[in-house]
Amino acid sequence: MSTPTEVTRCSWAGSDALYQHYHDREWGRPVTDDTRLFEKLCLEGFQSGLAWITILRKRENFRAAFHGFDLDKVAAMDETDIERLLKDAGIIRHRGKITSTINNAKRALEVQKEFGSLAAYFWSFEPEPVQGPIVSGSIPAETAASKAMSKDLRKRGFSFVGPTTSYAFMQAMGLVNDHVDACFCRAEAEVERQALKRPSRR
């Protein structure tokens, strides 16, 4: 499926082809796959203090470093792995964020056991759709829903999951549709959201 070159996008997509592809094909499209949800949660943590395009350009390196974000494999990583990754120039070499990813994998396994899936847990925080126009400058950095998610994640022992990070995760994974009204992706993402069968707790 090709994307027309002359289309209106959210302004943050810029002119970088990789960033535009991410905006057009991923961001805001609803996700219920646990591996993708976990990956995004971790990468949002790595992004803290950085631009998302920096993480996006390194995403394949992150996937290689963290076993494709397989929960069991990441949860089993130890200090030897941390020291190895601190020497890996292909990722963000930040001890706290690397350690956080391993910790969050362990916490995510606990959530899976309790809810049946990460998807059921995360989608339980889906807010009611915003009423009114969605335009550049009107989109918040955090919301009541992202604050609730962040608070619960931290209570469960997750780290690097503040309310701003949580909202960026919600936007990217389609729990909300924050494509601006003029963006060609907004209607497409909304169709996918309407058709989605929300995961339920098992």
Query: What is the C-alpha separation between 45 and 180, in angstroms, rounded?
Result: 25
Q: Is 12 one of the catalytic residues?
A: no
Q: Whose CA is closest to 99, among 51, 166, 161, 160?
A: 160
Q: Which of 52, 142, 188, 190 is catalytic?
A: 52
CA distance 82 to 152: 27
How far does CA 75 lie from the centroid of its chain?
19
* 44 noted as active-site residue: yes
Q: Which of 19, 27, 39, 44 is catalytic?
A: 44
* 123 in active site: no
10 Å CB burial of residue 46 (0-12, 13-18, 19+) is: buried
Catalytically active residues are: 22, 44, 52
